[in-house]
Amino acid sequence: MEITGIEWFVLIGISAIKMGTPLLFGTLGGVISERSGVINLGMEGLMLVGALTAFVVDLRFGSKITAVCMAALVAGLVTTIHAVVSITLRANQIASGLALTLFGTGLSGLFGDRLIGETVVSLNNIPIPGFSAIPILGPIFFNQDIMVYFSYFCVVLIWFVLFKTTLGLNIRSVGEAPEVCDAIGLSVAKYRYACVIVGGMLIGVAGAYFPMVLTSFWVDNLTAGRGWIAVALVIFAFWHPGKALLGAYLFGAAIALQLGLQTMGIAVPSYFLEMFPYILTIAVLTAVTIRNQKSGASVMPASLGLAFFRGEKH
């Protein structure tokens, strides 16, 4: 069967959204956490924990919604370690994040070992009446699974909370000037804990998307570095949920294109195609950094990465 150019574009588009969705959830989680001033380099590990939890729950109980909720819950619980170590115990956030990645990779590998070979049913696509009939864009954006729709909702919700509510203002202030917040009576630690844990839960949902939609099975290191791409996307997105969506779909498209070319059996060895998303991430990160420097103004939360010491100078 011949596939026309437009059909091919739509197919890649659908796949781009699917590949981009875990990146989007992960980036949103990173945005929330980093806006409050805490870097989470544990994304890769958290995604794996979320992925395994969702897979196990889906396999044992067959409930998709429970699977996603449990993934969020367990990932939130595991992130709490990072929160305690980096907020209360004031340890280096970068090292603590790396510990989280090792911990999550180990945890998922240890408990997932016996589940290799089992499969779950993937989530169905649910067309949204009316919208899904729009040519080209309809099938790409509005004939997707429910988690994709949930991610749209999250983008809007997080944007609204961060930029249109007092809660969001407080979160951003805690990330910019914790001393000032402390002086006017905001609890820096409380906001940071909440953001790190909620962010971690979203990262867990990102992980859940892998077994529930993308693979339907479990293997060791299922997320294969996507967590790290999400870490880079937080910077790419300038800590903004809307730009996170753009970035996630751009990288989703890169991955979809790589997979598309692989199945078409073009002459480039698949190993080189596999490198493509990582190299693209490095290139884009470099371009964004250079642009940031030139414009001079940084949108990076000013206290990102710094532990808050009450009544002391850094």
Q: Which residues bind another protein (CB under 8 A)?
A: 41, 45, 81, 84-85, 89-92, 94-96, 98-113, 220, 224-225, 228-229, 231-232, 235, 269, 271-272, 274-275, 278-279, 281-282, 285-286, 289-290, 293
Find out whether 284 and 237 touch, Cβ atoms under 8 Å. Answer: no
CB of 81 to another protein, least distance (A): 6
CB of 58 to another protein, least distance (A): 21
Which is nearer to another protein, 47 or 235 (by Cβ)? 235
CB of 88 to another protein, least distance (A): 9
Which is nearer to another protein, 23 or 148 (by Cβ)? 23
CB of 288 to another protein, least distance (A): 9
Query: What single DSSP character describes residue 224?
Result: T
Find out whether 139 and 132 touch, Cβ atoms under 8 Å. Answer: yes
Contacts 24+ apart (CB under 8 A), 261-267: none
Which helix (DSSP H) or strand (DSSP E) does residue 84 occupy? none
CB of 162 to another protein, least distance (A): 22
In 5-145, alpha helices (H): 5-35, 43-61, 64-83, 93-112, 137-141
C-alpha 216/C-alpha 210 separation (Å) is 7
Which is nearer to another protein, 33 or 173 (by Cβ)? 33
Which is nearer to another protein, 11 or 81 (by Cβ)? 81
Which is nearer to another protein, 106 or 127 (by Cβ)? 106
Residue 86 phi, psi (nearest 5): -90, -25
